[in-house]
C-alpha cells in the first residue's frame, strides 16, 4: 500500500444512504449500477513518481491566484508535483489545496464514460453515441415544443478562457438560447458591476507586485489567509516594509489577528462604514482635489449622500467603535500610497454593488489609483474568475466584455461568428433566476458544465425541487457532482490538467494552462464534447476549431476593441513572458500590469465616476423570531461546492464537516456547549451542526462554511435575495434562530464528506 491511496476517499467505495435526496434512485443503486472504479494504482507504486516521464509547467486548478506549478507525469498519469520556482507570482509557494489537487487525476470516482439514468434503477455507463444522440434529440424536442429559450445552460469559470468563450458561442449559436449564465454570478458580479460603473472596465487596477510597497492596505470582507494563502505573502511583505493593515470583517480571521486596525463590522452594514469614512475624509480635507476636479465626475452628489453619516451613527449601525472608524479614515486619509482590496464579504449582499462603490469612492476621493503602489480591486475568487467573466458566458455579455444589448457590440460579434445579428439571442436570465424559471416550469431542459448549483445556490431546497421538474438535464463533469445526480445524462469531461488553454489570474495576467495528460478511459475534453454537440445541433461549421489555440485566436479577434482586449496576446507571448496582462490591444503591445497611469478611464467620458452609495438594510434583518445573524463562507482546506476537495483525504481530515462558529456569550445565552449539536433554522430550512465556540466572531453572528451537500449544506438556510443590479445572492447575511439539541455531536466522520443532495 502506498500512502497516497490512504489519502483517497472514493465515494463509490463508501456508499451512503441519503434520505433527504428524494432522488428517483438511491445512491446505493447508483453504485450498484455504475460500480466502483478500479482502485488507484499509480504506475510503479507510490515511489514511481520519483522518476517521472516529464514535468509539465501549468497552473493550479483552484483559486484566482492561479499559482504556477509543475505536474509530474508518469505514463499518462499525474503522480505528483514540483514547485515552479520561477513563476513570478508565487515563486513556488502553494497552499494546502494546490499541493493536493493532483490527487484528482485518476481518482477512483472519475467518470470514465458517459452515464445515463435508468428510471428506478440508477446510472449505467453508456457509449458516446447513445449519450450524444439522446442529448441532442431531447434538446430538439424541448426547443421545438416550448421554444429555444426553454432550454437553459449553466456554466462555470473553472473553465479556461477558450472554453468560456466556446460556451458563450455554443449557447447563442448552437443552442440558440438566451438563457445562459454562469457561477461567477455567485462570485464576482457585484465587483464587476461596480467597477464598470466607476471605471468602465472590470479588472484590478494594479498587479500584485504593487501591493508589497503600499503603506496602507485595507482589506474588506476577505479571509485572505485561508482563501488566497499565497497572496498573504505579499501582505506580510508590505507589513515588513512598514505598511499598516486595516481589516473589516465580522470575524477575527487570521489576517485580522495581525492587523493594525480591526473593524468588527456587523454583517450587511459595510456601506455605512464606507459612507462614514468618506464623510471623515471630507470633514478633515483628506482629499486629492486635483484628481477629483480633473479626472472624476459626480463627487458632489456622492458626498451629499453621506453628509449625515456621523461617527456615532455609524457605530450604532455597524457595531464598530466610532474611534476605530475615525482611526481608519485617518490612516486611509493621510497616507501617500495604499491598496484597497475586497472580496465576497462585502459583495455577497443585496447591496453588493453599493458596497463596492462605497470602497471605490474612498479610493477616488484620495486619488490613489493607477500610480505605483496605489491600487484598488476585488480579489477574484475562482481559478479563471477573471477571464471567465470577460468572454461571454454571462447572460448579458458578449466576448471582450461587450454588452449583449448594445447594437454595435452585437453586430461586431455576429460578424465574427458569421451569423446574422438578429439571430443572436438577447439578454437571458441570471443563474438564480434561471433556476427559479425552471421551478415555475418555464424552462424545461438544462445543460450544465462546471457548476454545482444544488450546493452553491442559496435556498437550495428550491433548487432541488426545480431540478426534479426538468424534462431533461445533461451535465458535463469529471465527477458525478451533487447536482449531476439529478441528471438524465452525465457526459464525462476533462480535468484542468487534461486540456490545453489559457486562464486569467486575479491580477489580470493571462497565463498558459498546459495539458499534462489525456482524459482517462472514455472521458473526453470539454471542447471536444461541445464541438460534437454543436455539430449535431447543425452548427458544426461554426465550431471547426482544430485545437485550443484556434479557439484562442478567434477569441482574440472577438475581444478586439472591447474593454477586455486580448487581441495582442498569443500563446507564444504568454509563454515567453510568464503571462501577459490585458488589455493588450496589439501584437507589439507589452500588456498592462498597471491600469489608468494615463488617467484616461474606460468610461464614455473618460473620467472615473463617483457613485452615491447610501446605506440600506440587508434583505432579511434579524427580528424577535429570528434573532441571530447567519453568515457563510469558506475554510482553507475545502474548495467551493466541495466536489473536488471532498474527495481528497488530506483535505477532508483537517476539517471534515461544517461547524457552526459561535461566540461564547451567545453560546451561553442559548446554553450551547462545545461540539454540542445546534439546529439552525431560517425561513427557508433547517439543519444541524456541531457548535465550535470561538472568541473570534461577533456576539450577534454565527458563521457556517458552505462546502458540503445534502443535510449539512449551509445553503438550505441562506436567502435567495438578489442585488438589484448584479443579481448576486445575499450569501453573507440572513436571519436565523438557534435550537440547542443539548447532545454532543457524534465524532466527525469522513462519510459526511460524501453526503449528497
Ligand atoms: N480555501 C478556499 N479558498 C478559496 C475558495 C474556497 O472555496 N476555499 N474559493 C475561492 C472563491 S471562488 C472565492 S469567491 C474566494 C472568496 O474569498 P473570501 O471572500 O475571502 O471568502 P469568504 O469566506 O466567502 O468570505 C470572506 C469573509 O467575509 C466575512 N464576512 C461575512 N459577512 C460580512 C460582511 O457583511 N461584511 C464584511 N466586511 N465581511 C463579511 C467572513 O467572516 C469571511 O471571513 O475564495 C477563493 N479561494
Ligand atoms: N452559502 C454560500 N454559498 C456560496 C458561497 C458562499 O460564500 N456562501 N460562495 C459562492 C461562490 S463565490 C462561488 S464561486 C460558488 C461556486 O459554486 P460552484 O461553481 O457550483 O462550485 P464548484 O465546486 O466550482 O462546482 C463546479 C463543478 O465544476 C466541476 N469542474 C471543475 N473544473 C471543471 C472543468 O474544467 N470542466 C468541467 N466540465 N467541470 C469542471 C467540478 O467538478 C464541480 O462539479 O459558490 C457560491 N455559493
Ligand atoms: S492559493 Fe489558490 S491557486 Fe495557489 S495553490 Fe492555493 S488554491 Fe491553488
Ligand atoms: Mo467565488
pLDDT in tens, 242-294: 999 999 999 999 999 999 999 999 999 999 999 999 999 999 999 999 999 99
**Is the pLDDT at 756 greater than 80, yes or no?**
no
Task: Give the model's pLDDT for residue 754.
Answer: 62
Mean pLDDT for all residues in the chain: 93
**Ligand 3: which residue has its CA nearest to atom 6?**
95
Lowest mean pLDDT: which of 12-16, 221-225, 657-661, 743-747? Answer: 12-16
**Residue 493 CA, ligand 2 centroid: distance in Å:** 15
Task: Give the model's pLDDT for residue 753.
Answer: 66
Task: Give the model's pLDDT for residue 752.
Answer: 67
pLDDT, one tens digit per residue, over 338-370 is: 999 999 999 999 999 999 999 999 999 999 999
Task: Give the model's pLDDT for residue 122.
Answer: 86
225 band by pLDDT with thresholds 50, 70 and 90: very high
242 Rama sector, left if φ>0, alpha if ψ -120 to 50, beta otherwise:
left
pLDDT, one tens digit per residue, over 474-490 is: 999 999 999 999 999 99
**Residue 477 CA, ligand 3 centroid: distance in Å:** 21
**Residue 378 CA, ligand 1 centroid: distance in Å:** 12
pLDDT, one tens digit per residue, over 522-563 is: 999 999 999 999 999 999 999 999 999 999 999 999 999 999
- Mean pLDDT within 659-665: 98
pLDDT, one tens digit per residue, over 12-52 is: 222 222 222 223 333 333 334 333 322 233 333 333 456 89
Task: Give the model's pLDDT for residue 398.
Answer: 98
pLDDT, one tens digit per residue, over 42-95 is: 333 333 456 899 999 999 999 999 999 999 999 999 999 999 999 999 999 999
- Inter-axis angle of helices 526-536 and 161-169, nearest 10: 10
**Ligand 1: which residue has its CA nearest to atom 3?**
227
All cell numbers assigned to 663: 461566540
Domains, in order of start, for the chain: 54-106 (3.30.200.210), 115-187+384-502+518-569 (3.40.50.740), 189-378 (3.40.228.10), 628-755 (2.40.40.20)
Q: Could you tell me if 512 and 549 are in contact, meaning their C-beta atoms sit under 8 angstroms apart?
A: no
Lowest mean pLDDT: which of 288-292, 381-385, 743-747? Answer: 743-747
Task: Give the model's pLDDT for residue 31.
Answer: 39
Q: Which residues line ligand 3 (CB under 6 A)?
A: 60, 62-63, 65-67, 94-95, 97-98, 228-230
- Torsions phi, psi for 315 (to 5 deg): -60, -45
First-residue to last-residue Cα distance in the chain: 33
Percent of the chain topping pLDDT 70: 92
**CB atoms near residue 160 (< 10 Å):** 28
Pocket of ligand 3, candidates 70, 96, 98: which has the most ligand atoms within 8 Å of its Cβ, to mutate? 98
Task: Give the model's pLDDT for residue 121.
Answer: 82
- Which H, E and C letters describe 494-533, residue by residue? CCHHHCCEEEECCCCEEEEECCCCCCCCCCCCHHHHHHHH
pLDDT, one tens digit per residue, over 308-326 is: 999 999 999 999 999 999 9
**Adjacent-strand bridge partners of 719:** 730
Q: Which residues line ligand 2 (CB under 6 A)?
A: 156, 158-159, 183, 186-187, 344, 348, 381-382, 449-453, 456, 476-479, 481, 493, 496, 526, 632-633, 640-641, 643-644, 706, 714-715, 718, 731
Ligand 1 closest atom vs CA 226: 1
**Residue 438 CA, ligand 2 centroid: distance in Å:** 20
Pocket of ligand 1, candidates 182, 222, 715: which has the most ligand atoms within 8 Å of its Cβ, to mutate? 222
Q: What's the pTM?
A: 0.94
All cell numbers assigned to 368: 490613489
496 band by pLDDT with thresholds 50, 70 and 90: very high
DSSP conformational letter for 747: P
Q: Which residues line ligand 1 (CB under 6 A)?
A: 63, 187, 220-223, 226-228, 248-251, 253, 265, 267-268, 270, 343-346, 381-382, 631, 633-634, 636, 638-640, 703, 732-733
All cell numbers assigned to 588: 507589439
- Nearest listed ligand to the Cα of residue 452: 2
Question: Which own/partner pairs from 306-314 qualify as long-range (CB within 8 Å, at least 24 positions apart)?
Answer: 306/275, 306/276, 306/278, 306/279, 306/614, 307/279, 307/282, 309/272, 309/275, 309/276, 309/278, 309/279, 309/615, 310/276, 310/279, 311/276, 311/280, 313/272, 313/276, 314/272, 314/273, 314/275, 314/276
**Adjacent-strand bridge partners of 679:** 688, 739
Residue carrying C-alpha cell 508518469: 74
Among 714, 698, 572, smallest CA distance to 269 is for: 698
Task: Give the model's pLDDT for residue 51.
Answer: 83
- Mean pLDDT within 150-172: 98
**Residue 349 CA, ligand 3 centroid: distance in Å:** 25
pLDDT, one tens digit per residue, over 97-143 is: 999 999 998 899 999 999 999 888 889 999 999 999 999 999 999 99
Pocket of ligand 1, candidates 62, 182, 219, 249: which has the most ligand atoms within 8 Å of its Cβ, to mutate? 249
Pocket of ligand 3, candidates 59, 61, 63, 638: which has the most ligand atoms within 8 Å of its Cβ, to mutate? 63
Pocket of ligand 3, candidates 66, 83, 95: which has the most ligand atoms within 8 Å of its Cβ, to mutate? 95
pLDDT, one tens digit per residue, over 176-185 is: 999 999 999 9
Amino acid at each position: 500500500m502506498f500512502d497516497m491511496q490512504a489519502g483517497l476517499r472514493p465515494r463509490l467505495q463508501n456508499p451512503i444512504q441519503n434520505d433527504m435526496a428524494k432522488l428517483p434512485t438511491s445512491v446505493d443503486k447508483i453504485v450498484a449500477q455504475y460500480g466502483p472504479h478500479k482502485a488507484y494504482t499509480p504506475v510503479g507504486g507510490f515511489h514511481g513518481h520519483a522518476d517521472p516521464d516529464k514535468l509539465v509547467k501549468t497552473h493550479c486548478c483552484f483559486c484566482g491566484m492561479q499559482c504556477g506549478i509543475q505536474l509530474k507525469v508518469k505514463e499518462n498519469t499525474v503522480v505528483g508535483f514540483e514547485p515552479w520556482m520561477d513563476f513570478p507570482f508565487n515563486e513556488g509557494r502553494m497552499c494546502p489545496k494546490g499541493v493536493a489537487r493532483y490527487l484528482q487525476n485518476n481518482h477512483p470516482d472519475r467518470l470514465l464514460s458517459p452515464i445515463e439514468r435508468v428510471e428506478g434503477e440508477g446510472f449505467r455507463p453508456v457509449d458516446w453515441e447513445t449519450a450524444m444522440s439522446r442529448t441532442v434529440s431531447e434538446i430538439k424536442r424541448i426547443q421545438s415544443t416550448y421554444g429555444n429559450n426553454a432550454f437553459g445552460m449553466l456554466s462555470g469559470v473553472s473553465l479556461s478562457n477558450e472554453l468560456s468563450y466556446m460556451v458563450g458561442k455554443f449557447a447563442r449559436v448552437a443552442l440558440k438560447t438566451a438563457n445562459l449564465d454562469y457561477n461567477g454570478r455567485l462570485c464576482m458580479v457585484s465587483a464587476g458591476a461596480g467597477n464598470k460603473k466607476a471605471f468602465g472596465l472590470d479588472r484590478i487596477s494594479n498587479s500584485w507586485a504593487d501591493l508589497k510597497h503600499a503603506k496602507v492596505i485595507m482589506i474588506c470582507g476577505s479571509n485572505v489567509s485561508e482563501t488566497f494563502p499565497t497572496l498573504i505573502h505579499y501582505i506580510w511583505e508590505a507589513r515588513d516594509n512598514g505598511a499598516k493593515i486595516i481589516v473589516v470583517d465580522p470575524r477575527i480571521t487570521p489576517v485580522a489577528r495581525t492587523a493594525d486596525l480591526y473593524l468588527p463590522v456587523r454583517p450587511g452594514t459595510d456601506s455605512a462604514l464606507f459612507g462614514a469614512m468618506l464623510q471623515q475624509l471630507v470633514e478633515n480635507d483628506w482629499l486629492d482635489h486635483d484628481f477629483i476636479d480633473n479626472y472624476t465626475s459626480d463627487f458632489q452628489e456622492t458626498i451629499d449622500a453621506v453628509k449625515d453619516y456621523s461617527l456615532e451613527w455609524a457605530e450604532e449601525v455597524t457595531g464598530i467603535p466610532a474611534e476605530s472608524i475615525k482611526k481608519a479614515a485617518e490612516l486611509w486619509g493621510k497616507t501617500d500610497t495604499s491598496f484597497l482590496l475586497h472580496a465576497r464579504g462585502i459583495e455577497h449582499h443585496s447591496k453588493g454593488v453599493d458596497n463596492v462603490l462605497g470602497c471605490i469612492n474612498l479610493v477616488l476621493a484620495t486619488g490613489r489609483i493607477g500610480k505605483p503602489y496605489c491600487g484598488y480591486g476585488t480579489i477574484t475568487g475562482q481559478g479563471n474568475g477573471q477571464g471567465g467573466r470577460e468572454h461571454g458566458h454571462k447572460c448579458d455579455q458578449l466576448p471582450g466584455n461587450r454588452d449583449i444589448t448594445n447594437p454595435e457590440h452585437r453586430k461586431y460579434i455576429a460578424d465574427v461568428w458569421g451569423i446574422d445579428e438578429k439571430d443572436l439571442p438577447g439578454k437571458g436570465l441570471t443563474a438564480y433566476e434561471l433556476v427559479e424559471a425552471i421551478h415555475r416550469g418555464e424552462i424545461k431542459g438544462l445543460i450544465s458544465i462546471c457548476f454545482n448549483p444544488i450546493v452553491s445556490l442559496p435556498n437550495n431546497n428550491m433548487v432541488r425541487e426545480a431540478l426534479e421538474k426538468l424534462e431533461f438535464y445533461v451535465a458535463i463533469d469529471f465527477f458525478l457532482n451533487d447536482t449531476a445526480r439529478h441528471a438524465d445524462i452525465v457526459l464525462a469531461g476533462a480535468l484542468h490538467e487534461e486540456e490545453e488553454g489559457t486562464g486569467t489570474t486575479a491580477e489580470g495576467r493571462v497565463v498558459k494552462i498546459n495539458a499534462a495528460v489525456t482524459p482517462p478511459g472514455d472521458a473526453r475534453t470539454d471542447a471536444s464534447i461541445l464541438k460534437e454537440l454543436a455539430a449535431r445541433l447543425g452548427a458544426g461549421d461554426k465550431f471547426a476549431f482544430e485545437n485550443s489555440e484556434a479557439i484562442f485566436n478567434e477569441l482574440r479577434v472577438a475581444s478586439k476593441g472591447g474593454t477586455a482586449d486580448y487581441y495582442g496576446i498569443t500563446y507564444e507571448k504568454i509563454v515567453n513572458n510568464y503571462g501577459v496582462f490585458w488589455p493588450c490591444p496589439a501584437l507589439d503591445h507589452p500588456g498592462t500590469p498597471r491600469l489608468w497611469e494615463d488617467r484616461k478611464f474606460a468610461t464614455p467620458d473618460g473620467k472615473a465616476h463617483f457613485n452615491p452609495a447610501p446605506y440600506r438594510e440587508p434583505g432579511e434583518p434579524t427580528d424577535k423570531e429570528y434573532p441571530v445573524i447567519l453568515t457563510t463562507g469558506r475554510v482553507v482546506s475545502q474548495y467551493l461546492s466541495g466536489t473536488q476537495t471532498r474527495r481528497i483525504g488530506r483535505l477532508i481530515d483537517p476539517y471534515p464537516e461544517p461547524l457552526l462558529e459561535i461566540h461564547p456569550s451567545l453560546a451561553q445565552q442559548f446554553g450551547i456547549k462545545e461540539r454540542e449539536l445546534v439546529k439552525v433554522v431560517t425561513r427557508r430550512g433547517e439543519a444541524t451542526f456541531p457548535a465550535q465556540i470561538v472568541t473570534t466572531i461577533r456576539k450577534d453572528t454565527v458563521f457556517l462554511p458552505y462546502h458540503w451537500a445534502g443535510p449539512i449544506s449551509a445553503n438550505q438556510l441562506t436567502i435567495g435575495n438578489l442585488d438589484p443590479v448584479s443579481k448576486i445572492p445575499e450569501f453573507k447575511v440572513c436571519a436565523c434562530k438557534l435550537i440547542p439539541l443539548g447532545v454532543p455531536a457524534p465524532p466527525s466522520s469522513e462519510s459526511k464528506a460524501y453526503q449528497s443532495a
